[in-house]
Amino acid sequence: MWNPFRKKPEQRYDPVFEALALNHICPDCKHDSFLMGPKGGMGQNIKCEDCGSEFNLAPFEDGQWCGEPFMAERISDPMPKYSHKHESIMGSEFCLKCGEPL
Task: Kindly report, residue by residue over 7-50, the tens digit of the pLDDT.
Answer: 766 667 788 888 888 888 988 888 888 888 888 888 889 898 88
Percent of the chain with pLDDT over 70: 71
Backbone φ, ψ for residue 18 (5° rounding):
-60, -45
Question: Higher-confidence residue: 14 or 74?
Answer: 74
Q: Is the peptide bond before 59 cis (omega within 30 degrees of 0)?
A: yes
Query: How far apart are alpha carbons 50 and 94 in whole angstroms?
Result: 21
Tell me the residue ranges of DSSP E strands in the chain.
34-40, 43-48, 54-58, 60-61, 64-65, 71-74
Query: How far apart are alpha carbons 39 and 60 in whole angstroms?
Result: 9
Judged against a pLDDT cut of 60, whether residue 55 lies above it is answered with yes
Judged against a pLDDT cut of 80, whether residue 95 lies above it is answered with no
